Amino acid sequence: MTGKPRRSTFRTRLEEMVTALSNDILTGKLQPGDFLPSELMLAEQFQLSKNSVRKGLEMLLQLEMIEKAPRIGTRVVGPGMNKRITLRFGYYPTLMLEANLKQLVDRFQQQYPHIQLKMVPLSETFFSTTPQEALDRDELDLITLNTHHFGLCKENGEIKNMLEPLERKEDTYSFLLRPFTADNSLYVQPFTFSPIVLCYNKDHFREAKQPEPDSSWHWNDVQKAAQALTIHHDRIGLFFHLQSINRWPLFLLQNKVVFERDELGKLIVDNEPFREAMRLSLHLFEGMNPENLYMSENDSDCEMYFLQQKASMIVTSYFSLNHLRHAEFNYDIAPLPYSEEARTQLLVIGLAINKSSEHKEAAQMLLDYLISDETQLHIRQHTLSIPSDKGVAEWMGKEPLKRPSRFHMYRDIVPTFLNYSDMNITFRELEIIRRIFKLYWARLDDFDTVFQRLKEAL
């Protein structure tokens, strides 16, 4: 039995017509003074009745984008009520490389010339105050947030008052949504992601006659290979920016550390899995030219030394692989070696709308653009980062960019992805542990002394 099309079908087509015409006017495809197609042509194009077409044109009339010219037709006036607005976009500067963000926002500006983007780089100290104060201070409309900074927002209890709830995008990898969800609402739309992996110089392994890393490797396998690959005063076998918040917690995750709390909610760190994990974090480097291991100031130092072939293996992310786009030697990636259990840390960068923004609609337009198939495909084809859209991330066309042969390896290790919050610990508490253990990693204090200091601090 065939029936009449549902009302929702007409409504959808009507919305498509209004959106298409308004976009053509806003992007300059239709200039002031141009005439729209006749009502009959619009009815045929969008499969609508003439009455529905008139309703759509009435909406554009109310927005002052068109005007009726008696006995002539419908003439374009201009953006109308869609006056030029300034949208403030807070972004991580690393995304300029990791997502080709400059090219993406330039394309957005071309498509929506009435929206002027004010790019506001987020410094490492952006969240030194409370997240809400930081947003209000810089008057941001749209902001990039990683899982760590989202955790800070949750810890401050500011999510509902700070960020706009978002609709889930069906094509997004489902495991990316959980870290950005609070009270069953999604507050950050995943944009790109990466697990922590091991990257290695294939030529060095071949020269040293060492087997390449695989998913069975433990940290002691890395230690043995690093010793064989190290050449005194020339290169080190493994470079690992241990003090990074995206690196040292790996040992906790792999040692199955889950913290308990006392009756006051304070973290209890006096447990054997935590002790073993922190000892392993230092023991790994013993006998591997340790004087070179704590000179690193940031994560990108690893990629710099690796690119100069001064390091044979590095612990890194897909994000940081973008520093290696023009490497002139053969390299590949492997799952992160493990201790007790194969686990790795999942890093996710997403997009969130400031609930206090006066330009939420424009912010949503930019967010939708950045997670659109077209934009996500650009990231997939022109960077080594992984887009959040599952279908796009797994695109298998002709590669315009040199990438590791095992690039798609991340699909096979999804069950090993974890976030620091899985350990029942907050981002601020992790930062306290990192700050206190610096002296231990630098061999300036013994374990028991540092551990006692940590218990007092918490």
C-beta separation of 171 from 195 below 8 A: no
User: What is the CATH number assigned to the segment(s) 194-346+403-457?
Assistant: 3.40.190.10
pLDDT-derived band at 282, boundaries 50, 70, 90: confident
Is the pLDDT at 327 greater than 70, yes or no? yes
For residues 348, 351, 356 and 359, what is the CA-based torsion angle, rounded to 10 degrees?
170
pLDDT-derived band at 289, boundaries 50, 70, 90: low
**Residue 442, CB-side half-sphere exposure with 13 Å CA sphere:** 12
User: What is the CATH number assigned to the segment(s) 7-76?
Assistant: 1.10.10.10
Cα distance between residue 251 and residue 340, in whole Å? 9
Q: Which helix (H) or strand (E) holds 434?
A: helix 427-441
Task: Using alpha carbons, select from 190, 120, 188 the residue that is nearest to residue 159.
Answer: 188
Cα distance between residue 199 and residue 202, in whole Å? 9
The b/e string for 403-415 (b: 16+ C-beta within 10 A; e otherwise) is bbeebebbeebee
The position carrying tokens 């008139």 is 54
Task: Using alpha carbons, select from 194, 199, 240, 238 the residue that is nearest to residue 94.
Answer: 194
pLDDT-derived band at 410, boundaries 50, 70, 90: very high
Contacts of 373 (CB under 8 A, 6+ apart): 171, 389, 391, 392
Cα distance between residue 373 and residue 321, in whole Å? 23
The two tokens of residue 120 are 């506001």
The mean per-residue pLDDT over the stretch 160-166 comes to 94
Give the distance from CA 456 to its chain's centroid: 35
Report the percent of the chain where pLDDT is more than 90.
69
The b/e string for 137-158 (b: 16+ C-beta within 10 A; e otherwise) is ebebbbbbbbbbbbbbbbeeeb
Mean pLDDT computed over every residue of the chain: 90
Cα distance between residue 243 and residue 442, in whole Å? 10
The tens digit of pLDDT for each residue in 32-80 reads 899 999 999 999 999 999 999 999 999 899 888 899 988 889 999 887 7
Domains of the chain, residue spans: 7-76, 85-192+348-393, 194-346+403-457
Is the pLDDT at 5 greater than 60, yes or no? no
Q: Which helix (H) or strand (E) holds 175?
A: none
CATH architecture of the domain covering 85-192+348-393:
3-Layer(aba) Sandwich (3.40)
pLDDT-derived band at 297, boundaries 50, 70, 90: low
The two tokens of residue 332 are 């590949």
Task: Using alpha carbons, select from 381, 319, 378 the residue that is nearest to residue 103.
Answer: 378
3-class DSSP state of 37:
coil
In CATH terms, are 7-76 and 85-192+348-393 the same topology? no
Q: What confidence score (pLDDT) does residue 296 get? A: 59
Q: How many CB atoms lie within 10 A of CB 384?
A: 24
The two tokens of residue 193 are 């992601």
The tens digit of pLDDT for each residue in 94-124 reads 999 999 999 999 999 877 777 889 999 998 7
Report the percent of the chain where pLDDT is more than 70.
95
The b/e string for 214-241 (b: 16+ C-beta within 10 A; e otherwise) is eeebebeebbebbeebbeeeebbbbbbb
Cα distance between residue 340 and residue 388, in whole Å? 29
The b/e string for 424-455 (b: 16+ C-beta within 10 A; e otherwise) is ebbbebbebbbebbeebbeeebeeeebbeebe
H helices of 171-218, in order, are: 202-207
Cα distance between residue 314 and residue 337, in whole Å? 12
Provide the residue type at 280 as one letter: L
C-beta separation of 219 from 285 below 8 A: no
The tens digit of pLDDT for each residue in 61-74 reads 988 889 998 888 99
Cα distance between residue 344 and residue 117, in whole Å? 36
Is the pLDDT at 192 greater than 70, yes or no? yes
